[in-house]
Every structure is written in C-alpha cells, then in structure tokens.
Structure 1
C-alpha cells in the first residue's frame, strides 16, 4: 500500500469517527436525560457501509482498475450528449415552456405549492446574482429588499386599495431606492467589510419593520392583503367587467412563472450588455477596471439597485400569495439561503441558479419522510458538492472572447 493510499483510508476513518461523534448527541440523548447508543450506531453503520463502498469505487477508479468499464461508458455518454446537443436550442426552450405551462394540470396541489416557492426563489436568486455573480459584491442583507417589496404592496393594498399589478412597479421602485440608500455609504468598502456592513443594514431594516408599530404593526404583521385580481367579462346581465381575485394556487403559479421568466430575460440581457461587461470587469479586478475608465462606484450602485428590483418584485408577490407579512419572514437565514443558491448553482450562471433554487427548495421536500436525517444528509451532500465542484453545478461560461484569446 502506497503512502497516498494510506493517507486516503486514514482520512476516511477519521471522517467516519467524527461523524459518529457528531451523530451520537443528536440520537443518543433522550428528552428525559437518558443516554443510548443503539439508534446512533444503527444509522452510523448504514452511512459507513455506503461511504466505504463509494470510497472503494473511487479508489479503484483512481488506480485505473475500472478503465475497461469506464472508457466504453464515457464514449457512450459522449454520443448521447452529442445527440442531445444536435437539435437547436429553441426546441428545448419550447418544450420547457410547454412543460412549465402545463405543470399545474399535471401535478398535485402540494407540487404546485413547492413550484411556486421555487419560482419565487429563482427570482430572488437571479436578483442576488446581479450583485454577487456579475459584479462580485458579497451581499449578506439581500433579503431586506424582499421585505421592502412585500411591505410596500401590503401597505398599498390595505391603506389605499391599490391593485397588485399597479403595486408591482411601485414595490420595485421602493426596493431600488432602498438599495441605493443602503449601497451609497457601503459600496466604497470591499471584501469582508462590505459583507459585514450589508449584513448590518439588512438587520436594521428587519428591526425597523419589527418595531414601527404605527406603520407595519410590528411583530404582529399585516393581515388581509388582497390577492392579485384581473378584470374578466361577465355576460349575465349584458356585458360587464367583473373583478376576479386569483386566489387559487394554479393562478398564483402562473404569476410566479411570469415573474421568473421576466427576471431570466432581464438578467440575461444585462449580462450581455455593456453594463454587464462593466460589472464583469469590476468583479475580476476593480482597480484595473477603474484605471480603464469604468466608474466603479456608479456601476456597483447600479448593480445594487438592479438586484433590489427583483427582490422587490418577489416580495410583492410573496405578500399577495400569503396575504400576510411579518418581519419573521425576512431574517438573515433567508439571505443565507438565497446566497447558497447562487453559489451552489454557479455564480453568474442563470441555469445554475435555477438548478440551485430547485435543489435547495424542492429536494428537501422530496426527502421529508426521512424527517430528522434529511437535513443532515442534505448538508453532507452540499459539502461534498462544494469539495468536488467548487464552481457550482452549472458554472458560468465566459462572456465573449477577446481577439487575442483566439490566438
């Protein structure tokens, strides 16, 4: 056995022992204070056997013992990939759009509810992608703009009776203004200092929402928000227009789908525009971008405002869907969740963020039957993914090529 192989197996043993020490307090300490070892060991032995089998397969692959099997399989996979890439992209776009449109009619209400949540987080993830993925600014308080959009529509609906459709641009505008107010004093900072300050400002907005009783009703929240409504023709007594409230989940699904599609198109257009090129230059090297004539502060502030717009749109829809908002919906853990989607999927990658939102929102629901173990397994899977694919599930491609790249 070589030195590298001994190191590999020793690391595996240490990891399994560490996992047992972590698992035992979760399963071995009961509510009455008694200690048991059997439940933790039963779970640990299953995980250990699975990990050892996977480690043996990985070790055999590294040693080249599986090459007679892997080479034909890789060749077949390449042929399948080539066949899948042969049709033009618009065919897949049409098929995806048809599936998305027919989704409420094919799946249960529970699946529709999960899909609506996924679409909301896709919109949020794309908004944060403008700040983190395109411009390279670490924002830990992004969920504050989500809250601004939600409370904007809630207040306009309750106090002024403004419809959801008229409130959407107002919510986006207020979120953009909040982004400028927060961004102006903070964006002269870089790195960890910027992250800490944005985290502080996000908590400030949440605390303001929690304590401004006369406006937001404090921790009690705002109840009775109107659902989105449209005018539909009514021919019962002649031709009249009737206000129809879209309270059913399938109608809300289509609104969330429309917001997600708008966010995808807008972020893609921004990505390949001159503004997106400026953001990319700032992300790669802010000093070099400034020396080349890019007004870094103005473009960073624009990125903050544009990212906040999508957060405001998603927040307005969230309050219309739930018909209730409270500060507990806009905590730091939500910002961390949206940031995890961006990093998991691939910073700057629109398909990656969509996949990341699905992985973080939908997959835990599929494993709900495992209850206590599902988040433990999910956290372990994310850790392994970050170790083996640090650039994300679908890394972003380079935006364009320079002339000297061809040489």
Structure 2
C-alpha cells in the first residue's frame, strides 16, 4: 500500500517532461513583444517632470499610445506565429509558377532514349544552366548598375542636413562595418575595440598633414595619407592580433576592449603629441595637377562621392576576397579552429590577416572623417562607437556584405530620422527595441549569408553550433 500511495503522489516521467504553456517559445516571444511595446510607449510618450516622478508613467500608460504600440507588436507576433506557414507556402507556389514556363517547354519534346539520348539531355541541361547563369548574372549586373546610379544621384535629391548625415555617419560606419565584418563575420573573432583603428586613421591624417603639435618628417596631401594610414592600421591590427592568437570568445573581446582603451587614453593624455582633449586640426582634400586644381570645402556632396568611390573599391576587393583561398580559410577557422588547423590551415597567419585586413577600411574612414571635419579630439572615439558598429554588423547579418551595408544604413539613419520627434536621450531606446525584436524573430540578421542560415538551422535541429564566436576548441560539446 505504501508503494501505491507513493506512486500516486510521485509525478510520472511524462508529466515532468511536459513543458508549461508559458515556457513555450511562442509565448516567450509574446512576452518579449509586450515588454517592447510598453518600452516604446514610454519612449515616445510625454517627458517626465522633475516635481512629479510618476507623471510620465501615468500619462503614457493611461493614454492611447500604449494601446497603439500593443496593437502594432501584437499584430507582428500574430502574423509571425499564425500566418508564417501560409506566407511561406504562398512564396513557394509563386516560385513554382515562375518556373512553370521552363518546365512546360521541357515537356514539349519527349525525352530521347538510349545512350545518345542521355548525352543529348546532358548537353541540353548544361547549355540551359549556362544560359540561366548568364541571364541571372546579367540581371545582377544591371541591378547593381542601377543602384550605383541612384547612389551617385542621391545627394542631389536630399537636403544638406541629410548629406551631412550620409557623409559623417552613414558613410563612415559603412567603411568601419565592412572591415569589422571580416573579423567578426568571416573569421569569427569578437572585437569590441574596433573603433581604435578608426582613431589611428584619423590621427594619421592629422599627423601627416601637420595638424598635430609634433612636426612630421614630410607633409603629405590627404590622398597620399590614405595608403600611409592603411599601412599604419595594418601594423596595428597585427600588433593586436599577435598576442591574442590563443584567445577566442569572451576573452578575445576583453583584450580588444583593452586595446581600444589603450589607444583612447593615449590620445587623451599624450597632449604633447596628440593635443589631448584640446584636439588637433587636419587639412582638407585637395588636388593640384598644375593645369587644374580643386579643393574640398564645406559642401558635403563631394565628400559623399569620394566616400562612395572608396566603398565601391573596397567592396570589389572584399567580394573577391570572400571566395578566395583566404576567405575559405577564415570560414574554416570560424566554424572550428581545431579542425581547420588539423587539415593544414595556418590559423596563426590567417587570423593575423583578418585583423590586419579588417583594420584597413577603418584607416580610410578615419582619414576621410578627419579631413571632412578639419578637427579631431580623443572624445570622438569612445567605446560606444565600437559597440554600435558591432550591433550594425549583427543586425544586418554577420558574414553577409549586402546585409552589413543594409543594416548599417538603416540603424544609422533611424536615430537621425527620429531627431525631431524623440528626445536625444531616448533615440537609442528605439535602436534597442528594434534589436530585441530582430534577435527574437530573425537572429541570423536582416540579410544573412547562406552559411549563417544553415548554422542556425543546424543549431535548432541540435546538429551544430550556431555561433562560432563562443565555440570551444573542437566545436560545441554535447
């Protein structure tokens, strides 16, 4: 009888394994969306009063604003949870209809039989694939040309304020994010101090144009400073990477954070060389060919076109680099460094290359930024900029160059778009809320790479690790 009573009181194994309703991912996402809606209602509502600490809470949580935000985020949750399968099926059917004409054309003639028929079918299939590839490649090139034309004309379509934003923030962060994507997205090394290379590039421009308290050996034109700054950042990247080759994950992030603090405090306290917080000046870009000369002034449009030219050039080189032997080696290191080393990949060399090549774009950005403003000081290179750059890369999609470009442009544009309607102290609340929603519903990023999507799918299936940034040697262990 005792055994029977005990058995009656002890929950069964199936009951212990049963998951409560509030522990299901669907309702956890619902809870996150409700919290985000509450935060957004508070951020966009009335501001607080000094003599009444709860004035803003009472006004924002009893008005109509909170119901509007709840409706928006609940609608997003409902579409994701209940209409996702239907939307996916609709997209699949659309793809099938788009491919139907080629299938119908293939069914007009009966397939030939015999060995000659197999050879003929193979040849026809090969020609069809080559034709499809050429057509697809043509569409890609046409779309890229149209996009480039739009970007060239964009400054003529917007106000001077937005031209300043595109040059001082969007263009600057695009160059930084492209380089950071090499370190984080391709090589899988978490870097929290990447803005230090940007500072090195800016101070290189000030030094070689004679803007620092110390006289340079020879004064250079800003265009000649760019390769010097790139070389300086390459050397700094190697100096950072050399002592950190055995580190990964959180430990590597701490070291890179320390590297940023070293650069920042050196720029701040070494006043005899950098000017400290008083800052230093830098010359603007200029061209003098004898028969023709031009000097960049206060108009931001010429700087925008200059930045665009450098971004296009860097993208061309990095896209070639992604699918090269070096890019494949970085991918192997990111997914499993021990396995890569065991198959003959020189991990030391390729990790140093990742740090050095990734830092090079920050040198270009630093020179353009210092030349555009004509003035720099140490307070322009706070660690917050490194965190923001990393957020842009993760939001857009680590390892995906189109995703990094799109994510960076959106997240830099958003706070400036909210400038007139939101208090400056609250702008980044929108950024935080957007990142929360993004990490819940699309952790692979806005425009992810195919490899990243596959890793996340394997992680959900329990057959692989989703993030090599925190992976242990030999891969994740069960």
Q: What's the TM-score, normalizing by structure 2?
A: 0.73
Cα distance in structure 1, aligned partners of 2:59 and 2:97: 47
Cα distance in structure 2, aligned partners of 1:342 and 1:305: 18
Matched, 1:218 2:269: no
Matched, 1:31 2:50: yes
* Structure 2 counterpart SS, 1:204: helix
What residue is the counterpart of 1:120 in the other structure?
Answer: 172
Cα pair distance change 1:284/1:189, threshold 3 Å: same
Matched, 1:191 2:210: no
Q: Which of 54, 73, 95 does residue 146 from structure 2 map onto?
A: 95
Within 5 A, what are the aligned runs for 1:6-405? 12=30, 16=34, 20=38, 29-36=48-55, 37-41=57-61, 42=63, 43-58=65-80, 60-61=82-83, 67=86, 75=93, 88-116=139-167, 117-158=169-210, 159=215, 160-223=218-281, 225-231=282-288, 240-242=291-293, 244-372=295-423, 374-398=427-451
Cα contact 1:148–1:174 (8 A) shared by 2: yes
* Structure 2 counterpart SS, 1:390: coil
1:216 deviates by: 0.5
1:268 deviates by: 1.0
1:34 deviates by: 4.2
Cα distance in structure 2, aligned partners of 1:101 and 1:14: 41
Query: What number of residue pairs does the alignment pair up?
Result: 387
Structure exhibiting the larger radius of gyration computed from Cα positions: 2
Cα contact 1:278–1:299 (8 A) shared by 2: yes
Cα pair distance change 1:232/1:293, threshold 3 Å: same
* Structure 1 counterpart SS, 2:345: coil
* Structure 2 counterpart SS, 1:369: coil
Cα distance in structure 1, aligned partners of 2:299 and 2:98: 41
Cα contact 1:120–1:260 (8 A) shared by 2: no
Please say which of residues 278-287 and 50-59 is displaced more in the overlay: 50-59
* Structure 1 counterpart SS, 2:450: coil
Cα contact 1:229–1:246 (8 A) shared by 2: no
Q: Deviations over 1:273-316 (max 9, x none)?
A: 11111111111110011111111111101110111111111111
Cα contact 1:20–1:40 (8 A) shared by 2: no
Cα contact 1:139–1:194 (8 A) shared by 2: yes
Cα pair distance change 1:167/1:86, threshold 3 Å: closer
Cα RMSD, aligned residues only: 3.2
Cα pair distance change 1:283/1:77, threshold 3 Å: same
The runs of 5 or more residues in structure 1 that have no matched partner are 234-239, 400-407
Higher relative contact order structure (alpha carbons within 8 Å, sequence separation ≥ 6): 1
What residue is the counterpart of 1:402 in the other structure?
Answer: none
